[in-house]
Structure 1
Amino acid sequence: AIYWRPEIHDSDGLALLTGAGERIWRPLNNPPHDTLDSFADQAPKGFGLIQRDRNFDHYQDDGAFYDRRPNLWVQPQGDWGKGAVMLYAFPTNSETVDNVVSFWTPAAPAKAGQRLQFDYSLSWKSTDPTAVAATAHVVDCWQGVAGRPAERRDRQD
């Protein structure tokens, strides 16, 4: 069987810590077509692609170790102003194709000759930088097609 592992992915979702201190979680998926999501913000405190599920049994891969994949956290230095964290995803049928990317885009379009500077630090971690003690956070998100048990449902795009 080709798909012997229950899950195959490097990240569970996009985590954001907004300039207002709000924590946002957007689960990732393998979309049927290209998608671009926008999360408007002002002076974001951080964002990144996060692997929250650290249970080996959910991946069962002792070669790629998806349960150990690092989180990448972008922490802006200084005030980035108004803009949006963007999340772009495209469909893939291969685990070796990285099909998700997140980035910051300023609200105002750049003008010819204008200098833009966005200072930041990058952190690769095994912990979730948005997790706060004594508050709940999403670890697993499940999606699927509803129907009768054991009934085959082909994906309709």
Structure 2
Amino acid sequence: MSDILSALTSPGLTQALYAGNALWFSSAVIHFGFRQAHVMRRISHRKTFKDPAIRSSPSGDKWHHDIMAYLGGMNSPLVLLSILRLYSLLRPSRYLSSKTSAGDVPLDITALTVLGLANFSQAILNFTLSRKNDRWIMGKGLDRITVLDAVFTVLDWSFALARVVTN
């Protein structure tokens, strides 16, 4: 057990986790914020939907694109949080440190809990609401969105919990 806790609290793996979160949330910002038509074609079942009006617009419309842009925008603070924590681990700074005797453990617990909750909120919706409808590919198998949301939820919360247990 101590080997697992040691791995989950190691600086290198923590940096990798923050980098992974930053890339994952950056992908959401780029795709939902700037590539709505592409995303609608990739993750929706509009091309094969029963209703011909929906099938005729596989890329969605401006209303869908507006909502997706908000989703992209909402992911941008999570990118920033991931990047700031990664940067603080790579280049310690008095502005990005808690300056406690335990180092930045309280900041990592907070950051990883928030990042985990962001991923969990999407994973749980993929496994519940999306799985039960015919609109999206999410939640119906091993699509990358559902898988990565679930994986990052488990990793973020495991790393946060390891810090709670070891301090």
Asked if TM exceeds 0.5, the reply is: no
TM range (shorter): under 0.3
Report the structure, 1 or 2, having the larger helix content: 2
The TM-score normalised by the length of structure 2 is 0.26
